[in-house]
């Protein structure tokens, strides 16, 4: 059952993760032998066979607040594993296989949009950003050839998905708790491509669309790494 706009956080280790530790692990990953995250074979983070399987997965298209959302993948199986390894364990070596298609979708959206269209990211939760010390969406976009990404501002915390009452929240309550959490700046009269990693209910992305509209901009496309399907 879909109850939050974010994947359920996993606890990778009992240690409290810190940015320097994640960075150190990421650096070590380049030197130590690694197993393929798809099949466990000793290889790179993703062996050739699993990479081909990943590339064969279909894209997803849905509507969010009346705007077309392109998702590079469905959020399941290998895609879910790779995203969680990147976000929770700092496995930056999985950024290229995921980021290639994500970046291509953003570049396509930009090519179809007016000149001067900006890419804005839905901001990560403050806790997630602090824990990781890097922004997975910015990294994925860079690996996919998109090097200029701005972000919306979070003006107050939205539903965290971790509170005791979260599971009982109705969709209406979730929307009500999310409206007004984001703000856009400098988009008056401009076209915007909104990006995020995982879109679940779409409530957060819809809030991003609202924030851009309030600031006088127009969201021409939403792009996500992965979409959670019904
Ligand atoms: Zn494999």
Centre of ligand 1 from the C-alpha of residue 78, in Å: 10
Centre of ligand 1 from the C-alpha of residue 171, in Å: 38
What's the pTM value of the predicted model, to 2 decimals? 0.82
Topology of domain 58-227, CATH: Rossmann fold (3.40.50)
Centre of ligand 1 from the C-alpha of residue 142, in Å: 24
Centre of ligand 1 from the C-alpha of residue 216, in Å: 46
**Residue-wise pLDDT tens digits, 113-168:** 999 999 999 998 888 888 888 899 999 999 999 999 999 999 988 776 555 555 56
Centre of ligand 1 from the C-alpha of residue 20, in Å: 28
Average pLDDT (202-209) is 96
Question: By C-alpha distance, which of 139, 137, 145 is closest to 205?
Answer: 137
Rounded Cα gap, residues 15 and 24, in angstroms:
14
Structural domain boundaries in the chain: 58-227
The reported pLDDT for the residue numbered 71 is 98
Average pLDDT (37-62) is 93
Average pLDDT (84-93) is 92
Centre of ligand 1 from the C-alpha of residue 89, in Å: 19
Centre of ligand 1 from the C-alpha of residue 188, in Å: 46
Centre of ligand 1 from the C-alpha of residue 158, in Å: 37
Centre of ligand 1 from the C-alpha of residue 205, in Å: 32
Centre of ligand 1 from the C-alpha of residue 36, in Å: 5
Give percent of the chain above pLDDT 90.
Answer: 66
């Amino acid at each position: 059952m879909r109850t939050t706009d974010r994947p359920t956080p996993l606890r990778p280790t009992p240690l409290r993760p810190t940015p320097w530790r994640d960075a150190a692990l990421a650096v070590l990953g380049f030197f130590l032998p690694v197993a393929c995250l798809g099949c466990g074979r000793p290889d790179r983070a993703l062996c050739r066979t699993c990479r081909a399987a990943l590339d064969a997965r279909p894209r997803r298209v849905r509507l969010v607040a009346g705007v077309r959302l392109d998702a590079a993948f469905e959020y399941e199986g290998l895609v879910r594993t790779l995203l969680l390894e990147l976000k929770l364990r700092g496995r930056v070596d999985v950024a290229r296989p995921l980021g290639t298609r994500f970046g291509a979708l953003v570049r396509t959206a930009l090519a179809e949009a007016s000149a001067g269209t900006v890419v804005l990211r839905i901001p990560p939760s403050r806790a997630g950003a602090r824990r990781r010390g890097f922004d997975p969406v910015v990294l994925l976009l860079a690996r996919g050839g998109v090097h200029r990404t701005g972000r919306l501002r979070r003006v107050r915390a939205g539903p965290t998905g971790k509170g005791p009452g979260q599971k009982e929240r109705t969709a209406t309550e979730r929307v009500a708790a999310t409206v007004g959490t984001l703000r856009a700046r400098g988009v008056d009269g401009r076209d915007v491509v909104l990006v995020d990693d995982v879109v679940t209910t779409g409530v957060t992305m819809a809030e991003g669309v609202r924030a851009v509209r309030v600031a006088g901009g127009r969201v021409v496309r939403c792009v996500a790494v992965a979409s959670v399907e019904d």
